[in-house]
């Protein structure tokens, strides 16, 4: 079995697992005793390998199946390993997380005060995790409710004391934001696209249409029985209140009082619905709060990618839109938060779900968060702030909820146009959005040299039915009708059957190996067309089938390397995983209603998925050593429909002598 401790250098090991070999040995020593139980009867995976798999998933945030490919494990064990190791790590909190003593807490509070001027703040955790035994204060943003120990900003500070409090609170709290950023960089599983996969949605719909209504009916009956008991209590209490006799002086009155309270607090009130509630909450695969949060974040991600309007034909209540507004605020989508608050205000006039005070408080919270560190956000080209602070607009809260001035509505598409050219890496997010919206910003010099033609020279196999080829850019080609509809349908059928319902909540992918006819046939057709070694030993990876629904997509990347942080090379994804991916063929297995574009962010090309067509490119420059920056690409989130595709990675080691010489650079002519 593959052992990274032996096969990787120290630098490669740190890049892949985010810690040194010495650090891994230390972690293994405390974790291994907790994960030695077999995953299931007859299956024994070495504990150190389980730890490798989990750490790789934490650091890269990639598909569990892809991590499994590195260790020859299927997706099922990978999922169980990640859960088991996470639980083992969680159990070690008492050993490695030490709360400060009272004397230490005094020192910590003084340090916080010296830094931000806010007295009484301690790093000690209290509340649900740990009850504080010394006076301590926690600081939070305006999304949290103000309590005796959790201090949040004023919604609209007026007097000098409130402004001083505001300044000290914000300055003392801000250091946590860079910490969160570092954690997301170091452990990429914390930062990913938000989606609920189509198979899981289909599973939920089936539950709702079949099983759940019957359970709900039983639960409703139990609740009605509970309500009858409560009504009995209220009626008895009201009748008893009419009596003028002192309760403590009459044994019957005492009995009546005790019986009434026992009726309210005893087990009879809860046992009626316990069975139905347990049945309802234990239905396999039932949606939970995490799924709801994923759905909201997916909605916001689609809104900023495609500049969607909040006005929709889907009926939303005031509670729905308020929840979306609060999620937008917590996620930093300030302009969207205001739009959803306006929708809430409009719906609330009919429903009266929230008081005016609650709506104004939510608007105040938005103003505070938007204006906090505004200049820093603007310098960082934050895409969801307005041209000025809310304070500068000098508008009342009610005006903000009803009719913001047109000059405030600076959409991110307009912001994209105003961003100066500061280099490809910094423009990449803006390029991605522009391409996802269907823009193509290739130069005319490049477009004039691109061709469409019928290729029947690649192999005699294509003499009778030549391939329709379209050049999209330097090194980027699409083969139209590469597969027939029947071939595509067969691949989808086989892949769907392999995926099943395993881990379909957020991920739906599988691999098709050469032993499977659909994979062998696809590779053979690609081999004949491209003239490359694909079916040979280690000539290509297994065909990867991926499935995305609304909100699903991929961030900009090069298939031959992971993400690279130019400011901290030690946090880069390990490139040794994928360096052998010389060329990529991406075969679209479905048409997409809206969205799902493949965006080549530096090339300026947006490719719309077409069922049966195949994209083809090289991940390396002409020297086969340097990655080609023009091939950096992203998968735009699906807005409407389901996107399925297969990816074929062709290895460099098996095709070095078969690589054709490059043509004259079209990109160089574009820049003349």
Kindly report which listed range (115-129, 181-195, 466-480, 573-587) carries the lowest average pLDDT score. 115-129
pLDDT value at residue 578: 55
The per-residue b/e assignment along 519-529, b for 16 or more CB within 10 angstroms, e otherwise, is beebbebbbbb
- Concatenate the DSSP letters of all residues of 269-325 into one string: HHHHHHHHHHHHHTSTT---HHHHHHHHHHHHHHHHHHT--S--SS---HHHHHHHH
Q: Which residue has the higher pLDDT, 26 or 196?
A: 26
pLDDT reported for residue 72 = 60
The answer to whether 327 touches 296, Cβ cutoff 8 Å, is yes
pLDDT winner (highest mean) among 175-189, 230-244, 628-642: 628-642
Task: Assign 144 a pLDDT band (cuts: 50, 70, 90).
Answer: low
Q: Which of 443, 445, 654 is nearest to 532 (CA)?
A: 654
pLDDT-based confidence at residue 577 (cuts at 50, 70, 90): very low
In this model, does residue 585 exceed pLDDT 70? yes
Give the span between the Cα atoms of 618 and 469, in whole angstroms. 16
Tell me what the pLDDT averaged over the chain comes to: 75
More confident residue, 652 or 149: 652
Q: Is the pTM of this model over 0.85?
A: no
> Among candidates 226, 233, 229, which has minimal Cα distance to 257?
233
Placement of tokens 């691109």 in the chain: 450
Tell me how far apart the alpha carbons of residues 205 and 209 are, in angstroms, rounded to a whole number.
Answer: 6
212 touches 279 (CB < 8 A)? no
Highest mean pLDDT among 67-76, 516-525, 633-642: 516-525
Under a CB-based contact definition with an 8 Å cutoff, are residues 304 and 437 in contact? no
Query: Would you say how long the chain is, in residues?
Result: 672
Q: Which two tokens stand for residue 547?
A: 């499935």
Distance CA 637, CA 166 (A): 38
3-state secondary structure 344-373: HHHHHHHHCCCCHHHHHHHHHHHHHHHHCC
Closest CA to 653 of 538, 501, 516: 538
How would residue 125 be classed by pLDDT, with cut points 50, 70 and 90? very low
Q: Which of 165-169, 227-231, 252-256, 307-311 has the lowest mean pLDDT?
A: 252-256
pLDDT digits (tens, 9 = 90+) for 285-320: 455 566 677 778 888 888 888 888 888 776 788 988
* 69 has pLDDT over 50: no
248 or 497: which leads in pLDDT: 497
**Quick one: pLDDT at residue 127?**
32
Using DSSP, state whether 583 is helix, strand or coil. Answer: strand
Supply the pLDDT for residue 208.
74
Q: For residue 547, how many other CB atoms are within 10 A of its CB?
A: 23
- Is residue 500 over pLDDT 70? no
**Chain-centre distance of CA 249, in angstroms?**
65
- Asked if 52 and 102 count as a contact pair (C-beta separation under 8 A), the reply is no
Separation of alpha carbons 588 and 592, rounded Å: 10
Q: CA dist 17 to 6, 13, 53, 301, Å?
A: 14, 6, 9, 29
Say what the pLDDT of residue 130 is.
38
| 287 phi, psi to nearest 5 deg | -65, 145
| pLDDT at residue number 453 | 92
Residue range 424-450: mean pLDDT, rounded: 80
Highest mean pLDDT among 444-458, 474-488, 623-637, 655-669: 474-488
Pair of tokens at residue 310:
């909040």
What pLDDT is attached to residue 394? 80
List the alpha helices (DSSP H) in 174-210. 176-186, 198-209
pLDDT over 90 percentage in the chain: 17
Higher pLDDT, 287 or 570: 287
Beta-strand pair 138-139/150-151: parallel
pLDDT score, position 584: 94
For range 195-212, the mean pLDDT: 72
Residue 37 scores a pLDDT above 50? yes
């Amino acid at each position: 079995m593959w052992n990274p401790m032996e096969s990787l250098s120290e630098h490669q090991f740190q890049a892949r697992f985010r810690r040194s070999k010495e650090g891994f040995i230390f972690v293994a020593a405390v974790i291994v005793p907790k994960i030695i139980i077999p995953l299931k009867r007859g299956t024994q995976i070495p504990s150190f390998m389980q730890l490798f798999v989990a750490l790789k998933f934490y650091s890269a945030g990639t598909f569990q199946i892809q991590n499994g490919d590195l260790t020859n494990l299927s997706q099922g064990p990978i999922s169980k390993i990640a859960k088991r190791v996470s639980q083992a790590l969680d159990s070690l909190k008492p050993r490695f997380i030490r709360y400060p003593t009272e004397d230490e807490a005094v020192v910590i509070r003084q340090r916080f005060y010296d830094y931000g001027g806010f007295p009484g703040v301690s790093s000690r955790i209290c509340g649900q995790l740990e009850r504080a035994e010394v006076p301590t204060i926690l600081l939070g943003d305006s999304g949290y409710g103000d309590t005796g120990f959790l201090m949040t900003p004023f919604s609209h500070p007026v007097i000098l004391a409130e402004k001083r409090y505001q300044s000290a609170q914000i300055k003392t709290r801000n250091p946590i934001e860079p910490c969160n950023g570092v954690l997301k960089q170091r452990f990429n599983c914390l930062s990913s696209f938000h989606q609920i996969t189509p198979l899981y949605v289909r599973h939920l719909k089936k539950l709702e249409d079949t099983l759940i209504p019957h359970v709900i009916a039983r639960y409703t009956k139990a609740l009605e029985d509970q309500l009858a008991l409560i009504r009995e209590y209220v009626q008895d209490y009201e009748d008893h209140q009419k009596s003028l006799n002192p309760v403590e002086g009459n044994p019957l009155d005492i009995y009546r009082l005790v019986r009434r309270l026992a009726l309210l607090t005893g087990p009879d009130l809860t046992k009626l619905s316990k069975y139905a509630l347990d049945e309802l909450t234990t239905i396999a695969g039932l949606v939970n709060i995490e799924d709801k949060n994923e759905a909201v974040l997916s909605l916001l991600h689609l809104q900023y990618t495609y500049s969607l309007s909040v006005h929709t034909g889907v009926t939303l209540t005031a509670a729905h839109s308020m929840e979306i507004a609060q999620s937008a605020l917590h996620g930093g989508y300030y302009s969207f938060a205001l739009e959803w608050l306006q929708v809430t205000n409009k719906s609330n006039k009919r429903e009266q779900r929230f008081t005016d005070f609650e709506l104004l408080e939510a608007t105040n919270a938005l103003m505070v968060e938007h204006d906090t560190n505004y200049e820093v956000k603007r310098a960082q080209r934050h895409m969801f702030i307005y041209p000025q602070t809310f304070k500068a607009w000098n508008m009342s809260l009610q005006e903000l909820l009803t009719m913001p001035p047109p000059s405030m509505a600076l959409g991110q598409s307009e912001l994209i146009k105003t961003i100066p050219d500061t280099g490809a890496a910094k423009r990449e997010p803006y390029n991605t959005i522009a391409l996802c919206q269907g823009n193509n910003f290739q130069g005319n010099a490049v477009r004039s040299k691109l061709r469409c033609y019928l290729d029947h020279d690649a192999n005699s196999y294509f003499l009778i039915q030549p391939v329709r080829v379209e050049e999209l850019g330097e090194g980027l080609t699409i083969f139209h009708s590469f597969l027939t509809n029947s071939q595509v349908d067969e691949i989808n059928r086989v892949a769907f059957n392999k995926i099943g319902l395993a881990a379909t909540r957020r991920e739906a992918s599988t691999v098709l190996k050469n032993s499977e006819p659909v994979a062998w046939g696809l590779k053979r057709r690609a081999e004949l067309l491209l003239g490359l070694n694909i079916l040979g030993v280690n000539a290509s990876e297994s065909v990867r089938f991926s499935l995305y629904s609304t909100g699903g997509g991929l961030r900009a990347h090069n298939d031959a390397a992971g993400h690279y942080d130019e400011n901290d090379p030690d946090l880069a994804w390990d490139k040794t995983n994928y360096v052998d991916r010389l060329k990529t063929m991406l075969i679209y297995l479905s048409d997409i209603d809206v969205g799902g574009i493949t965006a080549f962010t530096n090339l300026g090309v947006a490719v719309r998925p077409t069922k049966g067509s195949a994209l083809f490119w090289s991940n390396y420059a002409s020297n086969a050593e340097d990655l080609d920056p023009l091939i950096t690409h992203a998968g735009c989130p699906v807005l409407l429909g389901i996107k399925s595709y297969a990816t074929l990675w062709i290895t460099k080691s098996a095709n070095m002598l078969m690589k054709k010489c490059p043509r004259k650079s079209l990109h160089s002519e574009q820049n003349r």
